[in-house]
Amino acid sequence: LYCLVFFFRLTSIIRHEGYLPYDKSGDWLYHFIEIAALLFTASALYGCMVPFKGTYQKELDRFGEFNVPEGLGAIYLAGPILIIAILIHPNLNADFISDTAWTYAMYLESTALMPQLYMFQKQASGVVELLTAHFVAALGFGRLMEFFFWIYSYHELANSSGSKLPGYLALFSQFVQLVLMIDFFWYYYMAVKSSTPLVLPQTAGLGIV
């Protein structure tokens, strides 16, 4: 999912500048970070699928596998979100494809962690590896910062008719992910505070973690 996020955001910000800061001097940095993120994510995916396939916990990575081929359960997130992005998107680039691509990346990013949280829930021991826990916590902190950013900037995400619905939906999508991660944040905080491994109950919060 993160490969899709970075790919679609790149297709928008490389062709147009509507979702970049007014000061164009730093545009290259945004492009570099997105390209690097896509390359790192793609290489990590390749590593899990090819050279380090033996370490891949296939039996746990079964998010959304209902009437779809193995490993494609995330389509139940990617598909509906694409439809929402097509129907509800801002118009800062004045280009349907570019605006939809950027919006799709933003909406999808707010749900991209759900398969990972699902895997945590399915682990028999409930113990989360230290590096994985820090990685997920960092992503969650990033979503928190992004939520605060959109609280002050959502009004800029207006569509062609002037409606601020895309901005409201951006805020809502960030809020939903934070709600889904509340219990993870709590157990992560307790683990860091007590210097013990992060152990998650098999059922907690909204049933995601």
The Cα–Cα gap between 196 and 94 comes to 51
Across 53-67, 70-84, 102-116, least confident range: 53-67
**Per-residue pLDDT for 208 more than 50?**
no
For residue 43, what pLDDT is reported? 94
Interval 140-172: pLDDT, tens: 898 899 889 889 888 888 777 778 888 898 888
**25 or 43: which leads in pLDDT:** 43
pLDDT band for 65, please (50, 70, 90 cuts): low
Q: Are 4 and 108 in contact (CB under 8 A)?
A: yes
For residue 97, what pLDDT is reported? 92
Q: Which of 22-26, 142-146, 180-184 has the highest mean pLDDT?
A: 142-146
pTM for the whole structure: 0.80
**Per-residue pLDDT for 130 more than 60?**
yes
**Per-residue pLDDT for 209 more than 50?**
no
Average pLDDT, the chain: 82
For residue 4, what pLDDT is reported? 92
Interval 95-118: pLDDT, tens: 899 999 999 999 998 888 888 777
